[in-house]
Structure 1
């Protein structure tokens, strides 16, 4: 292998625990004390490599998760931003279900649908896939023995999109992928095979 990428979803925010879609501003949903404590507890379980290049979503919750994980020299990457939820930013899912049930049903079943006026899941897969495919696979002189390690702290939908892209799967499977806060997804990329999905604990 030439590149080992560990994608980590940020810790739960108070808004997320309340069933609310993230706000539009980057600093809209910072971590609270509970989120920071949960991240600190997960740090040893994630087994982050020492020789790592790290990237982070511009959102406060992702940046604070990265910091609590001990990733200090992180590069803010716009391509790792959360999905654009359009006019649904900051709303509770239960409110959307009551006010616009058909729109919500379309959004959760059709990857091309964007009834909120923001980004569809298919568009998210394209955005995340473009970033994945720009990562340098030749990180060392002997990449097959010493793979380049990369960590990216981002959002659940971004991890789902990365899995879909890595597997070359149809975006229609997006609703079947569940990503909990502080989940880790490991992807590896080689010049011969391209992207593969590995158990994050391996």
Structure 2
């Protein structure tokens, strides 16, 4: 079945689990853990052998490969840049920089870690969504990217970013037409 003319259908797929996922750490460019690799491979039949726009980080390319998808790298699908917090657990950052962490969690424009602010991520994701052509696209990316896409699609304020949870291998469907997006349940 093809999408009606002018309609964009996106399926955003979160990468599978990594060691950073299990440790509640700000990720670097780590590979999938064994569990994540097995779970992704178990979903391959649902995806067929199509192609996917894919973030360049190893955890995304390994997920797409395990799902049986051909990879078309897209740098705009990158994870949030966590700056000096990369590789640290949330508890480590909270112990060493409690005020900075509090600022980042409450002010979307804050980037105390020297990386990307949530407002910057939201802008990047909105730009990526605005450039989607009509038709169907599968994109393998990161939890923050998917959170930002949901916030944008439903027109929520930036503070809503922290109210969206995205688990490893979660799938979120968005339908867009004329710059307006709807959140829908994937089939």
Which whole-Å CA distance do the structure 2 matches of 1:79 and 1:115 have between them?
22
Q: Give the equivalent residue in structure 1 for 2:69.
A: 71
Cα deviation, residue 60, structure 1? 0.2
Cα deviation, residue 49, structure 1? 6.7
| 2:162 pairs with 1:184 | no
| 2:151 pairs with 1:164 | yes
Q: Give the equivalent residue in structure 2 for 1:200.
A: 186
| 2:100 pairs with 1:103 | yes
Cα deviation, residue 32, structure 1? 2.6
Mapped contact 2:51–2:69 kept (Cα < 8 A): no
Instruction: Give every structure 1 segment of 4 or more consecutive aligned residues whose post-TM-superposition deviation is greater than 2 Å.
Output: 41-44, 47-50
After TM superposition, list the pairs within 5 Å mapping 1:45-124 onto structure 2.
Answer: 47-48=46-47, 53-72=51-70, 74-124=71-121
User: Alpha-carbon deviations, 1:2-46, whole Å to 9, x = none?
Assistant: 2210001100101221122112xxxx30113222101122334xx
| 2:156 pairs with 1:151 | no
| 2:46 pairs with 1:37 | no
User: Alpha-carbon deviations, 1:164-187, whole Å to 9, x = none?
Assistant: 112222111111111111101100
RMSD, matched Cα: 1.6
Which whole-Å CA distance do the structure 2 matches of 1:42 and 1:120 have between them?
33
Q: Give the equivalent residue in structure 1 for 2:15.
A: 10
| 2:122 pairs with 1:125 | yes
Cα deviation, residue 53, structure 1? 4.7
TM-score by length of 2: 0.91
| Alpha-carbon distance change, 133 to 49 in structure 1, aligned in 2, over 3 angstroms | farther
TM-score by length of 1: 0.84
Choose from 18, 22, 25 the match for 2:27: 22
Which whole-Å CA distance do the structure 1 matches of 2:137 and 2:20 have between them?
29
Could you say what secondary structure the match of 2:47 adopts? coil
Mapped contact 1:55–1:153 kept (Cα < 8 A): yes
| Structure 2 gaps, min length 5 | none
Mapped contact 1:3–1:188 kept (Cα < 8 A): yes
